[in-house]
Amino acid sequence: PSTAAASPFDAHESAVRSYCRSFPALFTRAKGSRLHAADGRSWIDFFAGAGTLNYGHNPEFIKRRLVEYLEADGISHALDLHTAAKAAFIETFVARVLAPRGLDYRLQFTGPTGANAVEAALKLARRVTGRSGVFAFTGAYHGLSLGALAVTANRAKRAAAGTALGDATFVPYPDGRLPAEQTLAWIERLFSDGHSGVELPAAVIVETVQAEGGIHVAPADWLAALQALCRRHGVLLIVDDIQVGCWRSGGFFSFERAGLAPDLVVLSKAIGGYGLPMSLLLIRPELDRWAPGEHTGTFRGNQLAFVAGAAALEHATDTGLEAEVRRKGERVAARLARIAALDTRLAVRGLGLVWGLDCSALGDGFAERLSARCFELGLLAETAGRRDTVLKFLPPLTTPDDELDAGFDLVARALGDLLR
Ligand code: PMP
């Protein structure tokens, strides 16, 4: 039945579609951490829209707000006019996220997608510094529009665009292949060596945890040293918190564990609360040097996403989501350690509720087969990393303990089937 249902896609949708190939089914309904298909099958969702559905599918506390808003004929589209929904979102974000952390940022609504926010960050960094280069890291993922792609280190994703992607210089991420301090020495050298052939960049863009890159967690002291290095040289630090922000890593911002105050921060995915499109650039107030209208567009703030996003922030702070993520993270860490003990070639990395099971020592293709077997058994988990050798787990942060356990039971079963 799923093949018959897939026919309109095969007949009429571009070959560029991707995730549907790993997870072939016709999905119809979803609730919490469960996805349902037309043919009656269902899955536990440890993919969660690549970290977009931090509060699960169709959470009641957000759905109620959205329905009330729609019933009252709340504004659905307003360009960037001042609306009550936007005012409420800004006030909630400042009161619930920024103020308690002593952080001061201006909010720029950059459009629906993460890549939109990255584009804005790169452009603003160039405007503010008058320099054009950017340093990005090996393994980085920042999106696939041309500017964001220029700082994305994935050869396959870059191939279609050719090589002339702008002034990005890739420097090594502390992913275990080089000692972390050597990666910093490398950057320091390029910043200060007039003969390296590399100009001082406008900015360094970094993910504190590389998610698409295979769940590599940068050490907190490395992140702090990177910020200090950037400050010493007048280079802006951009943190991309699109996938691991919004409590995914524990704190609301993934950089809290390193005590950073980045110059620019990009957020998207879960910030829209209900899977609704929103991306945000946070700007240190003194860097907000845009001229009015200089970076704008039609979709600069989805009103429903404002309503859902504000409801999510209120709920998360009222219910102590941060402590819950930390507690669940420890539970997952313990469970994954037992799973990794099934074969000495497996490794586990992660924090909070972003985890990876590194299967690279089992050969290319193993993690993809594991993902496929998980899908057959009733679990959605995507692969990540160079050559897709890491199975990635991003359950909704609200997944109950018994469902987390059930999901990892399926991973253990799938692994048992493949290792047999
Ligand atoms: N940055 C990071 C860290 C991401 O994970 C992603 C999406 N996977 C992006 C940027 C790009 O976001 P989008 O796909 O919405 O353009």
DSSP assignment, residue 213?
A: T
Average pLDDT over residues 46-61: 98
Q: Tell me which residue has its CA closest to atom 7 in ligand 1.
A: 143
Q: Which of the listed residues 144, 243, 253 should we mutate to test ligand 1's pocket, taking the one with most ligand atoms within 8 A of CB?
A: 243
Structure confidence at residue 164 (pLDDT): 67
ipTM > 0.95 (yes/no):
yes
Q: Which of the listed residues 145, 212, 244, 276 should we mutate to test ligand 1's pocket, taking the one with most ligand atoms within 8 A of CB?
A: 212
Average pLDDT over residues 374-381: 98
pLDDT of 173-215, one tens digit each? 999 999 999 999 999 999 998 788 899 999 999 999 999 999 9
Decide: 254 in ligand 1 pocket, CB within 6 A: no
- At position 217, the amino acid (one-letter code) is V
Q: Which of 248, 239, 249, 320 is nearest to 280 (CA)?
A: 239
Closest atom of ligand 1 to 145 CA is 16
Q: Tell me which residue has its CA closest to atom 12 in ligand 1.
A: 114
Decide: 142 in ligand 1 pocket, CB within 6 A: yes
Which structure tokens are listed for 176? 């275990």
Which structure tokens are listed for 183? 């990666």
Structure confidence at residue 4 (pLDDT): 52
Local confidence band at 1 (pLDDT 50, 70, 90 cut-offs): very low
Distance 114 CA to ligand 1 centre (A): 5
Contacts for 29 with CB less than 8 Å, ≥ 6 apart: 35, 36
Distance 260 CA to ligand 1 centre (A): 21
Distance 205 CA to ligand 1 centre (A): 13
Structure confidence at residue 6 (pLDDT): 55
Contacts for 325 with CB less than 8 Å, ≥ 6 apart: 247, 248, 249, 250, 352, 353, 397
pLDDT of 394-405, one tens digit each? 999 999 999 999
Which structure tokens are listed for 393? 């787990």
**412 and 332 Cβ atoms separated by less than 8 Å:** no
pLDDT of 297-322, one tens digit each? 999 999 999 999 999 999 999 999 99
Tally of CB atoms within 10 A around 111 = 25
Q: Please list the residues that pair with 347 across neighbouring strands.
A: 358
Separation of alpha carbons 283 and 289, rounded Å: 10
**113 and 269 Cβ atoms separated by less than 8 Å:** no
Q: Is the pLDDT of residue 170 over 60?
A: yes
Closest atom of ligand 1 to 210 CA is 3
Q: Is the pLDDT of residue 128 over 70?
A: yes
Average pLDDT over residues 143-149: 94
Which strands sit side by side in the sheet containing 354-358, from one edge to the other? 347-351, 354-358, 390-393, 383-384
Distance 343 CA to ligand 1 centre (A): 32
Decide: 248 in ligand 1 pocket, CB within 6 A: no
Q: Which of 252, 308, 247, 321 is nearest to 277 (CA)?
A: 308
Q: Tell me which residue has its CA closest to atom 13 in ligand 1.
A: 114
Closest atom of ligand 1 to 268 CA is 15
Please give the mean pLDDT across all residues of the chain.
Answer: 95
Average pLDDT over residues 227-253: 98
Which structure tokens are listed for 126? 């160039």
**156 and 16 Cβ atoms separated by less than 8 Å:** no
Distance 413 CA to ligand 1 centre (A): 31
Q: Please list the residues that pair with 136 across neighbouring strands.
A: 170
Question: What DSSP letter does each residue of 273-341 carry, written as one string?
Answer: TTT---EEEEE-GGG--PPTTSS--S-S--HHHHHHHHHHHHHHHHTTHHHHHHHHHHHHHHHHHHHHT
SS3 349: strand
Kind and range of the H or E run holding 27: strand 27-31
